[in-house]
Amino acid sequence: MSTGRKALPWLQEITMANHAYEELERFQSNKDNFELQNYLKDCQYEFSAKCHPFSLSSLPGRLSHNLSIPNEIYSCVTYISHSDLHVPPDAAVTALLTCASIALRGAVSVFVREGWVEPSPIMSVMIGDSGVRKSGFFSILYKPFECFEKSKAPSERELMMANEIRRISNKHLSCFEGKITRNTVKELVGENPMYIVDKMLESSKELALQSAELREKTAEMCRPAPKVVIDSGTPVALLECVRDNGGCIGVVSPEPSVFRDLVLSPNANLDIILRGYTQEPYTRLGRDQIHLKQPALPMLLASQYSVAAEVYGNKHLNDIGLTPRISPFFLHEHHERVPSMFKSIKLYDAVMIRLLSMYYTQNSSPQRYVINVEADASKLIQDFEEEIKFDIIPDMHGSVTASLKKMHGLAVRFACAFHALLHDIPHEASINAYEMSIGISVARNLINHFQFAHDPRGLPAYPIAKQILDNILSRREDKRHKIGQVWDVENIRSRLGLSAVAATNALKLLEACNWILFHDDGSKNPKFVLHLDSFERYSQER
């Protein structure tokens, strides 16, 4: 007992020392927090004086390079991006060349050098929020394709005759198959079982050959109405359109749902999209087997940010190489008045119809052409390939690498499309250095668009960044309290149920658009402050 009483003062001293240490830690923490808050508030005033918050959707436009419009297509570009639509000229150039690739129908490819033959299909998606008038933009682009289809469409009488021939042919084929089968069975009654099997197989082969021949002749006599582009359809309908129109169908639609269904639907046929870009052979097995030797699937689609974020943030689509093949263009605000050519010139329509007249066919084995590249043009694309590899890829986020590795091929495709616009018979002339330089310029202009689309702090973070902004700025607390508050990331995460990585990426995007000043001190709970004008800017956007 005496030992315990003597030890008590020591325990009291240890307890008091622990309390003092905890008190010192609390004081130091409060002091650090106080100093950090004062520091962040000083930074907040300086930050707010230097810059102003801008819309999240306009960030890619601020990253775009100034793409000069080639004189040869200036009339076409101004026709597409006339002043009523406020479409950025670089968006119009990208869309124009994509439409030229649709008109080429995958019939041409480019021989760059030994071991490198580049197909011509281009896949592009124009991304913008509601209200940027994507439908009006696309209606101009769609018009010559629609006119060409109407000029080639069969008359109502021809359609009725074709449908009747197809109906009668199917009926006769069914009767013929049934009759042959019955006659074969009657002849084999009482025969050896193995002999019966062999004869039935032999009869089936003969019947299959005759049926295939009849179906082929019927198909030649009763071709479906020509289609150059479609704006919707099931995966099966898409395949049938490619088969029935010379191995190519363009997809042109301003509706984001088409883009979503094409690549995100559970029934989406991703294989035909991949092969429609590379033009590698495609076969669908089954009762109605479809074999396509060199399918082409050029496309010009539109999307809202939310849909595009789902697509480009999808790891599987990136891993299989689908999203690196679809060039994103973010439609930024453009208020410069472009002279309208809408009434005075129809050059765009004429050029597209000229190319379609040359390359459209419903032949299942269409003529293919190869365009050569002049030596100085080949040197240009080689230099661009090395620039991408050694100068651009090392400075980019790893998620963009797959897209950048295809950028020199995309430049060749744009050069081919530009070449087709300039020549009466594109496949009889070689691509020169000037045409290749235009293709490289258009591809280079898309580098930052690809970066924003794939970077985790870009488009994939867009929906969460918008959610954070709405959550903070639409609540009813006193505005002055929120403006002066130093926000904890942990507080935002718990409010919205976000992971640490998702919250940090979204806040980095908000900082890039000047909505917040983010302070990452390496702790588990970084801080940020709002821009002093954030409420006014937010109310203007709404």
CATH for 306: 3.40.50.300
- Residue 247 and residue 198 in one domain: no
Say if residue 143 is exposed, middle or buried (CB neighbours under 10 Å; 0-12, 13-18, 19+).
middle
pLDDT of residue 221: 59
The residue among 402, 436, 454 that closes a domain is 454
**Any idea which residue has 């045409």 for tokens?**
435
Q: Give the containing element (helix H, strand E) for 112.
A: strand 108-113
The pLDDT tens digits for 249-261 are: 999 999 999 999 9
Q: What is the CATH number of the domain that holds 510?
A: 1.10.10
- Identify whether residues 470 and 405 lie together within a single domain: no
Q: Are residues 179 and 111 in the same domain?
A: no
In a domain, 14, yes or no: no
How many other CB atoms sit within 10 Å of the CB of residue 92? 27
Query: Of 193, 221, 249, which one is at a domain's C-terminal end?
Result: 221
Could you list the pLDDT tens digit for every one of the 542 residues in the chain?
444 455 567 677 777 767 766 766 665 565 567 677 888 888 899 999 999 998 887 787 776 667 888 988 888 887 777 655 678 889 999 999 999 999 999 999 999 999 999 999 999 999 987 766 778 889 889 999 999 998 887 656 655 666 666 666 666 666 666 666 666 666 666 566 666 666 666 766 776 666 666 666 656 555 677 899 998 878 888 998 999 899 999 999 999 999 999 999 999 999 999 999 999 999 987 667 788 999 999 999 999 999 999 999 999 999 999 999 999 999 876 555 545 444 435 788 889 999 999 999 988 889 999 999 999 999 999 999 999 999 999 999 889 999 999 999 999 999 999 999 999 999 999 999 999 999 999 999 999 999 999 999 999 999 999 999 988 887 655 665 667 788 889 989 988 999 999 999 999 999 999 999 998 877 778 889 999 998 888 887 76
The CA distances from residue 72 to 89, 184, 301, 348, 419, in Å, are 14, 69, 25, 12, 10
Return the amino acid letter for 398. Answer: G
Q: Within this chain, do residues 142 and 176 fall inside the same structural domain, yes or no?
A: no
Q: Has residue 24 been placed in a domain?
A: no
Across the chain, how many H-helices and E-strands are there? Answer: 23, 13
Q: Are residues 256 and 267 in the same domain?
A: yes
The verdict on 306 and 384 lying in the same domain is: yes
User: Residues 198, 86: one domain?
Assistant: no
For residue 188, how many C-alpha atoms fall within 13 Å in the half-sphere facing its CB?
Answer: 18
Whether 52 is in a domain gets the answer: yes
Question: Has residue 289 been placed in a domain?
Answer: yes
133 and 77 in a common domain: yes
Same domain, 500 and 409: no
**486 and 475, same structural domain?**
yes
Centroid of chain to Cα 406:
14
Residue 16 lies in a domain: no
Residues whose CB is less than 8 angstroms from the CB of residue 309 and which lie 6 or more positions away in sequence, other chains included: 459, 460, 462, 463
Q: Does residue 15 form part of some domain?
A: no
Query: Domain range holding 318?
Result: 70-153+228-454
Boundary-marking domain end, from 454, 471, 494: 454
Domain contains 131: yes
Yes or no: say if 278 and 117 are a contact pair by the CB < 8 Å rule: no
The answer to the question of residue 25 being in a domain is no
* Number of domains forming the structure of the chain: 3
Same domain, 465 and 446: no
Burial profile 200-216: b = 16 or more Cβ within 10 angstroms, e = fewer: eeebeeebeeeeeeeee
Q: What DSSP state is assigned to residue 432? A: -
Residues 290 and 202 in one domain: no
